[in-house]
Structure 1
């Protein structure tokens, strides 16, 4: 049997190092430990600071590197520009480590070179695996490096790449999942709001929401996901916070006998404006990245800022929701 791996861009493959959960450690945890652990992880991978790294894995390592550089200089009062420079240096050091790992594990130097990621760590989703690189030392495994171009075409019996035909009898797609396309396309159904207006028409020039949950003209409809909402590396964390918020809205509706809940035009416009302003903060970083869905496949300047996540830290977004709930007046919503 022969395995061909067709590669567009090399992935960043770091150590996974999974370990069994210590039973005694688990039993010693106090109520609320899981929420605290999630928040600690999210703070660190979002570039924030915490006294302790409770997860202590590959995702949080780059932040530890930044903190180490700051301790060496004994300077915690860095400007945003200085902090960005430290982050870039820590990023480079980490990626050099990842590249060195590929060189140390893969015996064929040409294959090892092709497997070295040449971009900043978070230009693409970091990967962690203890066996992936070792696989390329097997005699029946061939890496087909397309130098960023991808395969040319697929026929009934083969894959064409780099002008060469590779006969195959089984093809496994490892192209990820569809993301960033229209909501209706991904959900598989159309949404109709007041007066028969479709969500496709409402969002034809980009998404329009209030806090990512509500879209005017679609009363009692609540959206979940990253669109104009928070993005977290631990994806269920954001979904959990969204579920808490929607549950709060449902409870308010139940207790207040509310039959209709809908964003005001003013609140929606203000939120969309904020999303667009924050979207510009990461433009330079993504413009320098290799093509991917983070930067509209290398055409970042054509990316609609309306169709992005909340550009501030996710912690800040969650605090906005928490403060809104505590105020209790449902500001930004029309209710009846």
Structure 2
């Protein structure tokens, strides 16, 4: 690259993505720090995850009133916006994000329908040079990825997949106009979170629905319902306390993990505790005892409780047993919230097909072949998840110092400092990146924490005339060691889950989210900042700066 030391970058910061994290990051840098900043978004509007995931039944699985921006953005917005359901559906969440974009005039600094093709560190100019599919080249002092953790779809390469004559859909790229399955035979491949939401809706329309399951999951009671006026009044009166609690708890919810081991109470009391959590719905079951993710015997008490719920709901004992997980502990795969999923298997037009021992042989012109039997269908829905945490980061084509690509550096697994930065890639911040709480938390809480931390860091640098920041090798090695130690203390490595990267062939197996908890992680990040961004090398390079 030619010498660009005397050329000022086009922007102070370039953000990739315009979902929850990209919108808040744009607002904080532009409207709080007064920076010249721009966001790039591949979709034609804001929304991120909630722009693309429009499959039937799509909704958040954190309760709506804390799956939103907090008082860090606006106390007024919290009071003005009223959610219609306990767990908001995709259209309402997208409408909310569109409202935020409109309220803060964020769209004027977002380039829509634009995809990043490469991002290269220019050492001479001390800046990032980002190229996009429209041929534009943009330089920025700082590059901030806000691409989400579940953005790059995983579509298994089944033999014959492209030769299917019917309709094919992936839940993560659902047609905006919707799909009518009335009178059609449909196969849904996968039984993770999206499938658990989509299957009951599709079953209502389809002539017949085949659900192809490789691994049964522990699905928790969702308990979704309309929000009442009393609900809204109580929540809005207590929002300050609610948000304060979310920032300190383990999962970023306004309720914390109970301080008691599962085997410290009698079986009768334990069942009562589980029943109460089940009745309340949401992820509360996972917070009933403090050792469910640490001790196998404790975990089995919750696992068997959930298998009992499956047996209660599903009338056919053989189908109930097929739906009952036995090869991994509870909460070592992401537990979906179910609102009618198990009841769906009592319908005459729904067939569960196990594909663990006899995997899918291939897709035929007319359907799906399993164990020598062809199931003829008119449509196939791939609920096969995502290349989580790293997939979208790698697709950006990020190349750091000395021409080293991010994908190459992380060939043996992610290596970060705080899950936010990585050595060899100066001035790069990865919001909710691997080795941060991210997907193991209520995402908006973790997003706000990262955005606020980055904003404070850039303010601190500006006040001192610094224009370069990068973690030290020692700090990064220390964080990876800590992250790995904490992750291996849990039961997560016992499951083949996307939390471990196990759903993508060839992907390095490791614990991808930080398991120390949202509150603990926040304290560690705050401590780094309080100590003058300990673990980072900072500098004033002398490269041209913005006017």
TM over 0.5: yes
Q: 1:7 pairs with 210, 213, 216, which one?
A: 213
- Structure 1 residues 107-136: Cα deviation after superposition (integer angstroms, max 9, x where no partner): 222212211222421121112223111111
- Quote how far apart the aligned CAs of 1:199 are: 2.0
3-state DSSP class of the match of 1:42?
coil
Q: 1:167 to 1:117 in 2, by over 3 A?
A: same
- Structure 1 residues 172-204: Cα deviation after superposition (integer angstroms, max 9, x where no partner): 11112212655643xx22112233332233333
Q: 1:262 to 1:29 in 2, by over 3 A?
A: same
In 2: Cα distance, 1:321 partner to 1:4 partner: 47
State the match for 1:210 in structure 2.
417
Verify the 8 A CA contact 1:8 1:149 in the aligned structure 2: no
Higher relative contact order (CA 8 A, sep 6+): 2
In 2: Cα distance, 1:127 partner to 1:253 partner: 42
3-state DSSP class of the match of 2:428?
coil
Q: 1:63 to 1:236 in 2, by over 3 A?
A: same
- Quote how far apart the aligned CAs of 1:148 are: 5.1
Verify the 8 A CA contact 2:360 2:371 in the aligned structure 1: yes
Verify the 8 A CA contact 2:367 2:375 in the aligned structure 1: yes
- Quote how far apart the aligned CAs of 1:90 are: 4.4
In 1: Cα distance, 2:246 partner to 2:478 partner: 33
Q: 1:146 to 1:46 in 2, by over 3 A?
A: farther
State the match for 2:305 in structure 1.
97
2:339 paired with 1:130: yes
Pairs aligned (count): 310
Verify the 8 A CA contact 1:217 1:262 in the aligned structure 2: yes
List aligned pairs for 1:161-200, cutoff 5 A.
Answer: 161-179=370-388, 184-185=393-394, 188-200=395-407
Q: 1:117 to 1:202 in 2, by over 3 A?
A: closer
- Structure 1 residues 257-304: Cα deviation after superposition (integer angstroms, max 9, x where no partner): 22211222332333333334444323xx34543x323445499xx955
State the match for 1:75 in structure 2.
none
Q: 1:271 pairs with 476, 479, 486, which one?
A: 479
Verify the 8 A CA contact 1:62 1:91 in the aligned structure 2: no
Q: For structure 2, which runs of at least 5 residues remain unmatched after alignment?
A: 1-206, 261-275, 541-547
2:256 paired with 1:49: no
Q: 1:293 pairs with 494, 498, 522, which one?
A: 498
Q: Which has the higher strand share?
A: 2
In 1: Cα distance, 2:414 partner to 2:391 partner: 9
3-state DSSP class of the match of 1:171?
strand
2:429 paired with 1:225: no
Q: Which has the higher helix share?
A: 1
Verify the 8 A CA contact 1:261 1:334 in the aligned structure 2: yes
Deviation larger for 194-203 or 86-95: 86-95
Q: 1:317 pairs with 516, 521, 531, which one?
A: 521
3-state DSSP class of the match of 1:228?
coil
Verify the 8 A CA contact 2:251 2:517 in the aligned structure 1: no
Q: 2:284 pairs with 52, 60, 65, which one?
A: 60
3-state DSSP class of the match of 1:144?
strand
Root-mean-square deviation (Å): 3.4
- Quote how far apart the aligned CAs of 1:137 are: 1.6
State the match for 1:142 in structure 2.
351
In 2: Cα distance, 1:100 partner to 1:228 partner: 34
In 1: Cα distance, 2:522 partner to 2:349 partner: 49
In 2: Cα distance, 1:84 partner to 1:138 partner: 33
- Quote how far apart the aligned CAs of 1:142 are: 0.9
3-state DSSP class of the match of 2:430?
coil
